């Protein structure tokens, strides 16, 4: 009666890499994992921990860290660190919650350090 059929459920630990099919891709500067399409870029005028940082609508292929309250130039925000799924470099953070009304637009958006980004295939910006 014992159902001892030990099905070896091999857990698929393979990290899932989403390949972004686009001409203008931002990738991880260290391992070139695709991170975001240019269309997802909202602003380049942000300040990261390492200098200039970009604000994105969405980011692929990242691992989210734990919620953390952080005091930034624009006040206290709840953020999560984001790291590259492949090389595990911390590339920026995700805004989870903004305490100030005028900062709410950043909720669920992503900050990525400029130095952690590279332009895949060196595309040019055409604004
Ligand atoms: Zn990487």
CA distances from 61 to 7, 35, 45, 89, 94 (A): 30, 6, 23, 12, 13
DSSP sequence for 60-77: -SEEEEEEEEEEETTEEE
What number of CA atoms fall less than 13 Å from residue 23's CA on the CB side? 4
99 CA to middle of ligand 1, Å? 31
| Total residues found in the chain within this entry | 127
Which pLDDT score, from 0 to 100, does residue 1 have?
52
Domains of the chain by residue range: 25-121
Separation of 71 CA from ligand 1 center, angstroms?
26
For residue 11, what are the CA distances in angstroms to 18, 48, 61, 85, 86?
Answer: 19, 36, 19, 17, 18
Element (H, E) at 92: strand 90-98
Tens digit of pLDDT for each residue in 45-64? 999 998 999 999 999 999 99
**CB-based neighbours (< 5 A) of ligand 1, an ion:** 28, 30-31, 33, 84, 86-87
Distance 126 CA to ligand 1 centre (A): 26
For the chain, percent of residues with pLDDT exceeding 70: 85
Residue 59 confidence (pLDDT): 97
CATH classification (class only), 25-121: mainly beta
How far is the centre of ligand 1, averaged over its atoms, from the C-alpha of 90 (Å)? 9
Tell me how far the alpha carbon of residue 83 lies from the centroid of ligand 1, in angstroms. Answer: 8
Which regions of the chain are under pLDDT 70? 1-16, 125-127
């Amino acid at each position: 009666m014992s159902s001892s059929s030990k099905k070896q459920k091999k857990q698929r630990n393979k990290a899932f890499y989403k390949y972004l099919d686009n001409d203008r891709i931002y990738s991880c500067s260290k391992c070139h994992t695709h991170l975001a399409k240019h269309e997802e870029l909202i602003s380049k005028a942000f300040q990261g921990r390492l200098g200039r940082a970009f604000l994105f609508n969405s980011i692929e292929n990242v691992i989210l860290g734990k919620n953390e309250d952080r005091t930034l130039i624009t006040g206290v925000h709840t953020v999560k660190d984001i790291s590259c799924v492949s090389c595990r470099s911390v590339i920026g953070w995700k805004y989870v919650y903004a305490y100030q009304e005028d900062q709410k637009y950043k909720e669920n958006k992503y900050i990525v350090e400029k130095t952690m980004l590279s332009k895949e295939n060196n595309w040019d910006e055409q604004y």
